[in-house]
Amino acid sequence: MARITAGVATSHIPLLGVAHDMAKDRDAYFGPIFAGYDWTRDWEKAEKPDVVILVYNDHASAFDMKIIPTFAIGCGERYAPADEGWGPRKVPDVHGHPDLAWHIAQSLILDEFDMTIINEMDVDHGLTVPLSMMFGDVAEWPVKVIPLAVNVVTYPPPSGNRCWALGEAIARAVESFPEDLNVQVWGTGGMSHQLQGPRAGLINREWDNDFLDGLIGDTDRLRHIPHIDYLRETGSEGIEMVMWLIMRGALGKRTAALHRHYHVPCSNTAVGHIVLRPDNGEGLDMTGSGAA
């Protein structure tokens, strides 16, 4: 049986991809940001997940104003890095897991989540930057990836509550897949940021850390945050954080934090990162290391 063994969340700031690709990740500006991922890189090497369900958003690379799916799942074999204006990043192609992806698509749709199915697309910084942060410089990504794209770019994005419920449905789907697979769910994007307008550069450290706190333990308070609160408190792009709630919903009733990192700023954005386990009462540290 396939098992969800952990949840990982991270910001996906494109500048982190640039820093990584230009080997600037240990300089004075980026060093403290990347240092917060060292723990996770070692941990991922030990965990050896087979598949990552990578919840992310496309930034007008695969979709644009012509087609805006609220929730879409990649059922393809392979996805190339998208050209976002400077040529595609020179990182490996992403390999999918079509058997598990089709199983999840079927399970979700019969569970009344109306997923869009994607067989072909390129993937942008929303998906490739989290892979670089977690795995570094590699010839091949060490996991299969099922892209799960969420519309957080064009109003109206899905509610936090709907995202959490989708995570719960993803857990049911994974648990009913007969092959023995170690599966992680990643939530990406955020944290507080606004890229344009008079409030460009807005960052809300207190709100972000409270959101990180809310992912830990058995509270489900985050699922009830309305869109307007994300907008007011975390800037126009802070709504990306609803994607983290899909990851959280997939982990079940209670979680424990294994690792946590927060840094301000990177570009115009607050960097947040957390590693969670579904907590089955084995006495895990509930606070997370390196709490900000």
| Residues near ligand DHB (CB under 6 A) | 12-15, 59, 189, 193, 195, 237, 267-269
Question: Which of the following is catalytic: 12, 20, 97, 193?
Answer: 193
Find the shortest distance in angstroms from Cβ 190 to ligand DHB.
7
Residue 259 annotated as catalytic: no
Select 160 or 238, whichever has its Cβ closest to ligand DHB: 238
Find the shortest distance in angstroms from Cβ 180 to ligand DHB.
35
Question: Which of the following is catalytic: 20, 59, 125, 259?
Answer: 125
Find the shortest distance in angstroms from Cβ 246 to ligand DHB.
17
Find the shortest distance in angstroms from Cβ 239 to ligand DHB.
11
Select 107 or 268, whichever has its Cβ closest to ligand DHB: 268
Select 19 or 185, whichever has its Cβ closest to ligand DHB: 19
Residue 193 annotated as catalytic: yes
| DSSP-assigned letters across all residues of the chain | --EEEEEEEE---HHHHHHHHTT-TTSTTTHHHHHTTHHHHHHHHHH--SEEEEEE---SSS-BTTB--SEEEE--SEEEEP--SS---SSPPEE--HHHHHHHHHHHHHTT--PEEESS-EE-HHHHHHHHHHH-S-SS-SSEEEEEEE--SSSPPPPHHHHHHHHHHHHHHHHT--S--EEEEEEE--SSB--SSTTTT---HHHHHHHHHHTSBT--GGGG--HHHHHHHH-TTGGGGHHHHHHHHHT-S-EEEEEEEEEEEETTEEEEEEEEEE--SS---SS-BT--
Select 195 or 291, whichever has its Cβ closest to ligand DHB: 195
* Catalytically annotated residues: 125, 193
